[in-house]
Amino acid sequence: MDLLLKQKDNLCFGILALVIVAIPVFVESKYYFIVLNVIGLNTLVVVGLNLLIGFAGQISLGHAAFYGLGSYFSGILTVNYGFPLWPAMLVGMLATGAVAYLIGYPSLKLRGNYLVMATLGFGIIINILMGELEQFTGGHDGLMGIPPLAIGGLTFDDDLKNFYLIWSFVFFFMLAARNLLNSRVGRALRAIKGSEVAANSLGVNTADYKVKIFVLSAMFASVSGSLYAHYITFISPSSYDFHYSIQVVTMVIVGGMGSLWGSLFGAGILTFISEALHIAKQYHIIAYGVFLCLVLVFLPEGIVVGIYNLFLKRKTRKLIIK
Amino acid sequence: MNRRLLTLVVMVIAVSFMVGSSLCYSAEPIKIAGIFALTGRAAHIGTAQKDAVLLAIDETNQQGGINGRMLEMVMADTESNPTKAVMALKKILESQDVVAIIGPTLTGTAMAMRGFIEKEKIPTFMHSGGDVILKAPLDKKNPNSMPKWTFKSPYKAADAMGKICQYMNQHGIKKIGFIYSNEGFGKDGVRNVKVQAPKYGVEIVAQEAFQPKDIDMTAQLTRINAKGVDAIIAWTVGPAMGIIAKNIKQLGIKAPLFECHGAGDPIFWKVAGESGEGVMMPSTKIVVADQLPDSDIQKKMILDYVKAYRAKFNREPGTMVAYGADAAFITVNAIKKVGPDRAKIRDAIENTTGYVGISGIYNISPQDHNGLSMDDIVMIKATKGGWKLLD
């Protein structure tokens, strides 16, 4: 799988860029743009999370909190303190990274899935703080009037402009993730994925790498959160609850763990399906559940990897018949 | 062979969809959007409101619609989630012929949608509870930037609290304990009770919080009771309403219990059971319509609506239903008056005065996009699985 992706990666990035540029030519509906934008935002979080789940083999149930920290740092700094837009986003990203380091450092030194518990608790604490620190966050009424992002004279104040903004971020962050995975760090991560003991015995500081990838993955979520805050211009604690953490983990698994393009498809398909299933009225949740079951039963490696494997199987069968 | 069959089936389905959707409506209907929390944590409120709005629209259609044109509701689900609410809004705004929006259910979703509604200039009648929807300026730096296109049907939470305190004043209750759920709604209650209680000579001697999902509040209630209170106010919705009533009975606390304006609903009896007996609360008149004096100008209107609601859905309407119905009726009336034009509908809604609704008499103005007052609220008491009107 990895081999295929590496060979065809550049081609895929080319196609992605083309699709991003071409979509506005064919799509006019604001609704489709907001769906695409939400897909983009989710993809950023999922790509980051997939680095952690797919390569460090650790699960985080607190990514809603990192996503939320990004949103709230951007929101609070720009609304309450008149901070300039982009530096606020950068501060949010660095601060979220620092927080992730504080959680990751002790829990990733331990063997086993202790990060799950730490992030689970952390996510709930942050969600409660969003509601309680009223003088900063606006409490449960939410924080309103967040200004849209701007470069020079260009203000990203509608769905189309935000589409270009968000998807540029997705493109470059995916590119960065790909380059990271193909570097020395990436090889170390791959070694950890293969066998942690083997990697350790060969001199790879596994704990250190795991912490680093966790911090990076939190930063991805934070950037996505900042973009969300400036796009919707209103944030409230209910957007960052435990359900969102679960949702992004599901996207990683459905897309395919350890597959960069799987992240894009996982976020895309699940966001799209949950919208499209509204045709089923109040039964859409059941339909969504059935869809998830089908994917996990028939394509347990995730959609992208699973379908590719099916394709391979078919090819070999044809060869055998011949 | 197999694949060909599959392609055929898919094509037949696709074609039938296309034909079906184009044949559905021959006459051009006027479209109103309904955005509700049909799933998620507020689903029980959202579905009740959806039914209420559907009933109002059906009624108009049975009377021949508006100038021969039927009303049609385009429905969307917020899933009780702010992001999804904005997505639902954009989806609805896709079809240009939607003239007005009714909903959403939750304050958080309403706040997320508000900015976009003002930008798109579409009249929206919300039935979410939070006063913040109308109170908070759109732009923090400009306190005069009040929402122009947004209205809301439930009376102000401050007035509901005022009504309780007024009732206490009239019945010699001086010292109270206040217990609230530690989230948006409960905290709003704390702010309000601190303003309203002193107005009516009521003193708050104890104040306790609990988490929304807690299953036992005996500790907090014991502390409140120890202060020797004359009455207890509980500000929460959902299962906690019933848990508090039960705990008070278990502890043998004699002080009467008052709950919030969301409690006057069949749900209350489901969560409280027998312990609900004797709990008092402010409410809309819908749950005690048959006990109203005949001189009450709302009585006939409410009784007619309740009858229609029972006939159609075979269950009892609660307070939440009243909010949905009023939002729908006022919007429909505005369309009747000025035709399907967004800006004109907005103006017509804003000029609604003396409208006799189910929740009260609406006097909407540019300064007050709600239009209800404290006089529209009644105090009721839970008895024998039903409600008794207090005076």
**What band does A78 get if pLDDT is binned at 50, 70 and 90?**
very high
Minimum CA–CA partner of A228 in chain B: B83
**What band does B9 get if pLDDT is binned at 50, 70 and 90?**
low
Q: How far apart are CA B211 and CA B222, in angstroms?
A: 17
| Domain range B30-155+316-373, its CATH number among 3.40.50.2300, 3.40.50.800, 1.10.8.80, 3.30.750.210 | 3.40.50.2300
Here the contacts of B43-50 (C-beta below 8 Å, separation 24 or greater) are: B43/B80, B44/B267, B45/B105, B45/B320, B46/B77, B46/B78, B46/B80, B46/B104, B46/B105, B47/A282, B48/B317, B48/B318, B48/B320, B48/B321, B48/B324, B49/B103, B49/B105, B49/B127, B49/B320, B49/B321, B49/B323, B49/B324, B50/B75, B50/B324
Give Rg (Cα) of chain A. Answer: 20
Nearest to A166 by CA among A21, A304, A40, A29: A40
Distance between start and end Cα atoms, chain B: 78
The answer to ipTM > 0.85 is no
Q: Please give the pLDDT value at position A197.
A: 87
The sign of the torsion formed by the CA atoms of A233, A236, A241, A243 equals negative
Question: Which residues of chain B does A38 touch, with a Cβ-Cβ cutoff of 8 Å?
Answer: 83, 87
User: Which of B87, B108, B136 comes nearest A238 by C-beta?
Assistant: B108
Q: Please give the pLDDT value at position B27.
A: 67
Percentage of chain B exceeding pLDDT 90:
66
Q: How far apart are CA B15 and CA B18, in angstroms?
A: 5
Does the fold of domain B157-283 match that of domain B30-155+316-373?
yes
Which H/E stretch holds residue A117? helix A114-132
Return the DSSP state at A237.
G
Q: Is the pLDDT of residue A69 over 70?
A: yes
Q: Which of A301-305, B248-252, B359-363, B370-374 has the weakest average pLDDT? A: A301-305
Q: How far apart are CA B268 and CA B386, in angstroms?
A: 10
Q: Please give the pLDDT value at position B223.
A: 96
**What band does A98 get if pLDDT is binned at 50, 70 and 90?**
very high
Q: Is B16 exposed, middle or buried (0-12, 13-18, 19+ CB in 10 A)?
A: exposed
A232/B93 touch (CB, cutoff 8 Å), yes or no: no
Question: Which residues of chain A does B93 touch, with a Cβ-Cβ cutoff of 8 Å?
Answer: 30-31
Question: Which residues of chain B does A141 touch, with a Cβ-Cβ cutoff of 8 Å?
Answer: 107, 111, 130, 132, 136, 184
Q: Which pLDDT tens digit goes with each residue over B324-345?
A: 999 999 999 999 999 999 999 9
Minimum CA–CA partner of B131 in chain A: A141
User: Are residues B360 and B376 in contact, defined by beta-carbon separation less than 8 angstroms?
Assistant: yes
Helices (H), chain B: 2-23, 43-62, 82-94, 107-120, 132-135, 157-170, 184-199, 218-226, 239-251, 266-272, 299-313, 319-338, 342-350
**What band does B252 get if pLDDT is binned at 50, 70 and 90?**
very high
- Token pair, residue B141, equals 């730096």
Nearest to B99 by CA among B125, B77, B78, B80: B125
Which H/E stretch holds residue A92? helix A85-109
Return the DSSP state at B269.
H
Q: Please give the pLDDT value at position A225.
A: 97
User: Which of B77, B80, B90 comes nearest A30 by C-beta?
Assistant: B90
The helix/strand/coil state of B34 is strand
Q: Which of A8-17, B270-279, B354-363 has the weakest average pLDDT? A: A8-17
A236/B130 touch (CB, cutoff 8 Å), yes or no: no
The helix/strand/coil state of B383 is strand
Return the DSSP state at B69.
B
- Token pair, residue B75, equals 């429905």
Per-domain residue ranges of chain B: 30-155+316-373, 157-283
Percentage of chain A exceeding pLDDT 90:
58
Q: Please give the pLDDT value at position B22.
A: 44
Minimum CA–CA partner of A132 in chain B: B183
User: Are residues B332 and B67 in contact, defined by beta-carbon separation less than 8 angstroms?
Assistant: no
B71-77/B30-36 β-pairing = parallel
What is the average per-residue pLDDT within A235-261?
Answer: 92
B111/A144 touch (CB, cutoff 8 Å), yes or no: yes
Q: Which pLDDT tens digit goes with each residue over A293-305?
A: 998 898 888 888 8
- Token pair, residue B261, equals 């304006």
Q: Which pLDDT tens digit goes with each residue over A305-321?
A: 888 888 888 888 888 88
Q: Which residues contact B118 (CB under 8 A, 6 or more apart)?
A: B138, B147, B148, B149, B150
Question: Which residues of chain B does A71 touch, with a Cβ-Cβ cutoff of 8 Å?
Answer: none
A234-235/A143-144 β-pairing = antiparallel
Question: Which residues of chain A does B140 touch, with a Cβ-Cβ cutoff of 8 Å?
Answer: 79, 144-145
**What band does B3 get if pLDDT is binned at 50, 70 and 90?**
low
Q: Please give the pLDDT value at position A4.
A: 47
B318: left (phi over 0), alpha (psi -120 to 50) or beta: beta
**What band does B96 get if pLDDT is binned at 50, 70 and 90?**
low
Q: Provide residues of A within 8 Å CB-CB of chain B.
A: 29-31, 33-35, 38, 79, 131, 134, 139-142, 144-145, 159, 228, 232-236, 238-239, 275, 278, 281-282, 284-285
Q: How far apart are CA A131 and CA B212, in angstroms?
A: 13
Percentage of chain A exceeding pLDDT 70:
98
Question: Which residues of chain A does B38 touch, with a Cβ-Cβ cutoff of 8 Å?
Answer: 281-282
Minimum CA–CA partner of A35 in chain B: B87
Question: Which residues of chain B does A144 touch, with a Cβ-Cβ cutoff of 8 Å?
Answer: 111, 114-115, 136, 138, 140
**What band does A271 get if pLDDT is binned at 50, 70 and 90?**
very high
Count residue pairs from A and B with Cβ separation < 8 A: 84
Nearest to B119 by CA among A214, A301, A232, A240: A232
Q: How far apart are CA B72 and CA B77, in angstroms?
A: 16
Using the CB atoms, write b or e for B116-127: b if 16+ within 10 Å. bbbebebbbbbb
What is the average per-residue pLDDT within B349-374?
Answer: 94
Q: How far is B114 from chain A (nearest CA, A)?
A: 9
β-bridge partners, B32? B73, B100
Counting DSSP H helices and E strands in chain A, the numbers are 14, 4
Q: Is A71 exposed, middle or buried (0-12, 13-18, 19+ CB in 10 A)?
A: buried
A234/B115 touch (CB, cutoff 8 Å), yes or no: yes
Q: Which pLDDT tens digit goes with each residue over B19-52?
A: 444 444 446 899 999 999 998 878 888 988 999 9
Question: Which residues of chain A does B76 touch, with a Cβ-Cβ cutoff of 8 Å?
Answer: 278
Q: How far apart are CA B27 and CA B25, in angstroms?
A: 6
The helix/strand/coil state of A127 is helix
What is the average per-residue pLDDT within A28-42?
Answer: 93
User: Which of B82, B93, B140 comes nearest A30 by C-beta?
Assistant: B93
What is the average per-residue pLDDT within B344-364?
Answer: 95
Q: How far is A113 from chain B (nearest CA, A)?
A: 27
Q: How far apart are CA B281 and CA B260, in angstroms?
A: 6
What is the average per-residue pLDDT within B110-129?
Answer: 92
**What band does B15 get if pLDDT is binned at 50, 70 and 90?**
low
Instruction: Report whether the peptide linkage leading into residue B366 is cis, meaning its omega lies within 30 degrees of zero.
Output: no
Q: Is the pLDDT of residue A110 over 90?
A: no
Q: Please give the pLDDT value at position B338.
A: 94
Q: How far apart are CA A47 and CA A255, in angstroms?
A: 10
Q: How far apart are CA B90 and CA B74, in angstroms?
A: 13
Question: Which residues of chain A does B114 touch, with a Cβ-Cβ cutoff of 8 Å?
Answer: 144, 234
Round the average pLDDT of chain B to a whole number and report it: 89
Question: Which residues of chain B does A282 touch, with a Cβ-Cβ cutoff of 8 Å?
Answer: 38-39, 47, 77
Q: Please give the pLDDT value at position B10.
A: 60
Q: Please give the pLDDT value at position A321.
A: 83
Minimum CA–CA partner of B139 in chain A: A145
Architecture of domain B157-283: 3-Layer(aba) Sandwich (3.40)
Q: Please give the pLDDT value at position A92.
A: 96
- Token pair, residue B299, equals 């009585």
Q: How far apart are CA B194 and CA B183, in angstroms?
A: 17
Q: Is the pLDDT of residue A118 over 50?
A: yes
Give Rg (Cα) of chain B. Answer: 23
Q: How far apart are CA B194 and CA B184, in angstroms?
A: 16
* Residue at token pair 């409660």: A128
Q: Please give the pLDDT value at position B13.
A: 58
B184/A79 touch (CB, cutoff 8 Å), yes or no: no
Q: Is the pLDDT of residue B188 over 90?
A: no
